[in-house]
Structure 1
């Protein structure tokens, strides 16, 4: 149960980010300052965790004549070549692109809609993998994509508002964030797999921060702005966005499986919509909640089908 709770808590952490960003915009902070403070705190926390992990492993080195309990130690190496470190830093850059376009979309569309668009990474990832493998998705996957697309249209308010009242630029930015996040999910798990997960995460976050400093020179580090309420915003975004979810996912996902983790990770969507409705006072209609429910069903369909085929759930006949 503790592994399920860990993945659930990690996904819920992601769900509150959009609300914090909207509040930061309300205080007059700019995009580069918001994302920069988040990644700065994420880098600091990630490397503190690396130091702690190294210390913990050094304490658990096998004493002479004793058998070490390998199950207690995380797998992976904490020693990498510089080429591997650079590869990890490059693999971390899509997270910056995702943050930039996703947070920018919040200037044009409600946070409840932005998170729904970001969630389109579920079917975009499937499409990218199908193109890379030159393999057509099976019928279950195609049906799942249809459910996700229909749920998105309902949740986005197309049935109530029509296309004319939808901010096209905001929609485009939201979908761009989904594409970028899909690339991150696709490549991050394949680069330098022999590295310790904590070390991989630290180098990837570092690579993202370096790219951000190139795109948006971090003037907030030197003009005193960091010691304003921006520090609190950065702490919240860095803690709930760049630190807590990766740590909890590394802890829980290997024990519950990627498919079930994807289902439980979908809790990010209703949490984000609920935060938008309660904290930001955004109007979320009944139809939009129905759309959210349909999207969640679409996310769960592939894993539920797999479990049913293995005889571990009810029959789909």
Structure 2
């Protein structure tokens, strides 16, 4: 019986690992789809609209199942979810897609992966979590890696670098604000649903949204495919896979395999977009990815309960 349970656990672990890697590969396509849309005349802002609003239309199928939980949310929880959505989804998407335009898909996703560094800082200020010496060293490694990505024959210190770093800041706040807002143990599907729907609701108030879809309707079906791929392959499918994988794997182990996201983005940018990096930029990308990888591995062995959660447990 014990042998059967062990075999089942091992099989579930492998399935979860494959789901995580597949999700990471899907996320890695965002830069490719956004580049194709930019080549068809869409700005970074319009690409953000296409991603979020289209994804919102797709995930509306989740509404009947989540409705009983949504109506129970308190105003304070809605505020936390709104901040998470507007900063972590809308803000991150805008900054990332503009960074892709300015510096290319490879460097943009590397800059996005500075998020763990910013998470350390925001966790210290917002969640009262301490910063260890090893975390500080990993942060310095990532910062040095960012510096190297700015070097090279084609690299320039421009808005793309700043926007790439801002996308990392927004991405880190998505997790930190979500952790703070979700300490009442709301399920991951609810977090994902509200993070997309709230931002989509804001975008639907803007005339630019309707202009963007009007522009899309005048273009060939291939462009529609890029917009659908951006939302379905680059957003909805990977998050669904990631949520299913978390049922089989610890979150710390799952985060290790998300390293396939930037690797996929860089490989696709090289193969499909012919966006090559200089050797020193590759060194910088590797340092950023190693910092993110070590952060995930070390956090898995040195996880501490935040002070605000300890206080809540004593109540």
Structure 2 spans left out of the alignment, 5+ residues: 1-13, 304-315
SS of the equivalent of 2:174 reads helix
- Alignment partner for residue 169 of structure 2, among 171, 179, 184? 179
Matched, 1:17 2:27: no
Partner of 2:181: 191
Deviation larger for 184-193 or 96-105: 184-193
In the alignment, what sits opposite 1:80? Answer: 72
Distance in 2 of aligned mates of 1:268 and 1:136? 28
Q: Under a length normalisation based on structure 1, what TM-score does the superposition of the two structures give?
A: 0.79
The C-alpha deviation readout for 1:97-152, integer Å capped at 9, x for no partner, is: 11111111222212211111111111011111123356652121122112222333
Is 2:114–2:292's contact at 8 Å kept on the other side of the alignment? no
Which has the higher Rg, Structure 1 or Structure 2? 1
In 2: Cα distance, 1:296 partner to 1:222 partner: 36
Structure 1 equivalent of residue 146 of structure 2: 152
Given that 2:118 and 2:169 are in contact with CA atoms closer than 8 Å, whether structure 1 keeps it comes out as: yes
Distance, in Å, in 1 between the alignment partners of 2:195 and 2:246 is: 19
Contact 1:50/1:199 (8 A) holds in 2: no
Alignment partner, residue 204 of structure 2 = 213
Which residue, out of 244, 257, 260, partners 1:267? 260
Stretch moving more, 284-293 or 13-22: 284-293
| Residue 198 (structure 1) shift | 2.1
- Does the residue aligned with 1:256 lie in a helix, a strand or coil? coil
Q: How much does 1:305 deviate? A: 4.1
TM normalised by structure 2 equals 0.79
What is the RMSD computed on CA atoms of the aligned residues? Answer: 2.9
For residues 271 and 96 of structure 1, the distance between their equivalents in structure 2, rounded to whole angstroms, comes to: 23
**CA offsets, 1:215-263, max 9 Å, x none?**
5631237736346344322211111233112211211124322222221
Is contact 2:19-2:242 (8 Å) kept?
yes
> SS at 2:214's partner residue?
coil
